C-alpha cells in the first residue's frame, strides 16, 4: 500500500547548547554577536580557510543522518550585523569561487555516501538573512551572515513520520509566493524563461515534486543537465547565480511598485532590459502590485508582514528519479529550507538520543573535511569532540 502523499513532520533530537544569553539581550541579538560565533567555531567547527568560510556541525540540526553548514564568518571584521554579506550576490568573487568548490565537493560526497534516490533525500542550499522582517518580529534571523545547509533525510523515516499540518504557514510560505503564482504566474515564468541558461533546463509543472510529500509546490524549478558532474563546471554556478539575480530583480521591481506607484526600475538591477520589457509594461504585473498596495494602505497587520527586500530560499536537491533539481522560493515567513520539500522538523532536546546518532554523523562530517583539506580548501579545527586532523 502506497503511503498517503503529504508533508511529513519528523522529530530530531539535539544536545542542549550550554550558552547563556546575557541579561538584557534577546536571543537573536546575542546570536549575532562575535561571542556566539566564537563558540560555534570552538565547539562545532570543522574547518576554516583564509577566505573566512567556516564549515561546522549544525548543533541544532535538521537531521542527525547528515547535517552541516558553511558560514561566511564576517563576525570579527564587520561588527555591524546589518552590513554583512547575506546572499551569494554580495560575496567577493575570490570567496565565492572557493565557496562554490566547497559546495561541489560536499554535495559530491553526499551523493557517493547516499547513492540511492529511493532511500535518501539529499539537499543543499541557502537563504537570505537580511533585514526583510520588521525588526520587532520574533522571526528576525538569528545569525545575519550568509550560510548554507547540507542535509540528508532517510526516506523510510520520512515515510513512517506523521503527516504535518498542511496549513502550517511555513509550508504555504505565508501565501506570498502564491501571490506570484496566482496573480502573475505567466509573467513570472516568462521572466525566468528569458534568462540565458544552458545547463539548467526548466522543469515542466509538477514534474520535480517528491512523490512522498508532494513538494515543492508552485515553485520555478530547473533540472541540472549532466547531474553531479555539472557541479564541477563553473558555468553551473554562474547559472545558479543567474537564477538568484533574476529572482532578486523580479522581487525588487514588484515590491518597488507596491511601495510607490509607477516607480522607476530599482537601482543596480541585473537585467534592466528584461525588467523593462517583461515587467514594467505588463498590465497583470502592475495590477497585482496595485492590489497589494491598496491592501497595505488599509490593513496594518498585512502591511507589517510585508518583506520589502528580497527574501528567498534557493536549493539543489535530488528528486525521486535521481535527477538534480534547482528551485527557488519567495520566503515570506521564514520557513526552513527543508519545508520547501515538505519536511517539517521538530527539534527536541535529548542528549542521549543525539549521542547515539553522533558517532556516525561525525565520521561522515570528518570525511567531508578530509576531502576539503585535500583540495586545499581549508585547515581542520579541533574541538572537544574531534581533533584538527
Q: Listing from the earlier edge strand, what are the strands of the sheet with 312-318?
A: 200-202, 221-224, 324-330, 312-318, 120-127, 147-154, 66-72, 53-57, 45-48, 379-380
pTM for the structure as a whole:
0.93
CB of 123 within 8 A of CB of 151?
Answer: yes
Q: Which residue has the cell 525588526?
A: 135
Task: For residue 360, give the 3-state DSSP assignment.
Answer: helix
Confidence (pLDDT) at 176: 47
Which pLDDT score, from 0 to 100, does residue 40 have? 82
- CA 66 vs CA 122, 126, 248, 329, 362: distances in Å: 9, 16, 30, 23, 9
Question: Buried b / exposed e across 51-67, counting CB within 10 Å, b at 16+?
Answer: bbbbbbbbbebbbbbbb
Q: Could you state, in order of their start, the residue ranges of all structural domains in the chain?
A: 8-380
Name the nearest CA neighbour of 294 among 328, 321, 259, 323. Answer: 259
Rounded Cα gap, residues 197 and 8, in angstroms: 33
What is d(CA 73, CA 29) in angstroms, rounded to the nearest whole number? Answer: 16
Angle between helices 93-113 and 351-374 (to 10 degrees): 120
The cell for 115 is: 547513492
Q: Is 263 exposed, middle or buried (0-12, 13-18, 19+ CB in 10 A)?
A: middle
pLDDT one-digit tens code per residue, 219-238: 889 999 999 999 999 999 99
pLDDT at 142: 59
| pLDDT beneath 70: ranges in the chain | 1-2, 28-29, 32, 130-143, 172-178, 331-335
Amino acid at each position: 500500500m502506497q503511503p498517503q502523499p503529504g508533508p511529513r513532520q519528523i522529530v530530531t533530537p539535539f544536545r542542549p547548547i550550554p550558552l547563556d544569553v546575557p541579561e538584557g539581550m534577546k536571543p537573536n541579538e546575542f546570536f549575532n554577536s562575535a561571542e556566539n560565533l566564537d563558540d560555534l567555531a570552538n565547539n562545532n567547527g570543522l574547518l576554516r580557510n583564509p577566505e573566512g568560510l567556516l564549515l561546522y556541525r549544525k548543533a541544532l540540526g535538521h537531521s542527525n543522518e547528515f547535517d552541516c553548514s558553511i558560514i561566511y564568518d564576517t563576525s570579527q571584521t564587520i561588527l555591524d550585523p546589518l552590513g554583512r554579506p547575506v546572499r551569494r550576490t554580495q560575496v567577493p568573487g575570490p570567496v565565492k569561487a572557493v565557496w562554490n568548490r566547497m559546495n561541489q565537493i560536499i554535495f559530491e560526497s553526499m551523493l557517493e555516501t547516499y547513492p540511492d534516490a529511493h532511500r535518501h533525500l539529499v539537499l543543499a542550499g541557502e537563504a537570505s538573512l537580511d533585514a526583510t522582517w520588521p525588526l520587532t518580529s520574533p522571526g528576525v534571523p538569528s545569525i545575519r551572515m550568509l550560510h548554507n545547509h547540507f542535509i540528508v533525510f532517510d526516506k523510510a523515516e520520512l515515510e513512517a513520520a506523521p503527516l504535518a499540518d498542511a496549513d502550517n504557514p511555513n509550508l504555504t510560505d505565508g501565501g506570498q509566493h502564491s501571490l506570484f503564482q496566482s496573480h502573475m504566474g505567466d509573467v513570472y515564468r516568462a521572466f525566468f524563461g528569458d534568462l540565458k541558461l544552458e545547463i539548467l533546463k526548466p522543469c515542466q509543472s509538477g514534474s520535480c515534486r517528491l512523490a512522498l510529500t508532494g513538494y515543492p509546490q508552485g515553485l520555478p524549478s530547473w533540472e541540472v543537465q549532466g547531474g553531479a558532474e555539472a557541479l564541477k563546471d563553473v558555468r553551473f554556478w554562474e547559472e545558479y547565480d543567474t537564477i538568484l539575480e533574476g529572482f532578486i530583480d523580479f522581487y525588487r521591481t514588484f515590491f518597488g511598485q507596491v511601495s510607490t506607484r509607477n516607480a522607476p526600475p530599482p537601482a543596480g538591477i541585473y537585467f534592466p532590459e528584461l525588467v523593462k520589457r517583461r515587467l514594467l509594461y505588463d498590465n497583470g504585473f502592475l495590477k497585482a502590485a496595485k492590489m497589494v498596495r491598496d491592501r497595505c494602505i488599509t490593513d496594518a497587520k498585512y502591511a507589517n508582514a510585508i518583506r520589502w527586500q528580497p527574501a528567498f530560499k534557493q536549493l539543489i536537491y535530488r528528486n525521486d528519479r535521481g535527477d538534480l533539481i534547482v528551485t527557488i522560493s519567495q520566503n515570506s515567513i521564514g520557513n526552513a529550507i527543508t519545508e520547501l520539500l515538505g519536511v517539517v522538523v521538530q527539534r527536541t532536546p535529548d542528549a542521549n538520543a543525539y549521542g547515539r546518532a553522533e558517532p556516525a554523523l561525525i565520521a561522515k562530517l570528518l570525511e567531508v573535511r578530509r576531502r576539503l583539506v585535500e583540495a586545499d580548501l581549508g585547515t581542520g579545527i579541533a574541538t572537544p569532540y574531534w581533533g584538527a586532523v
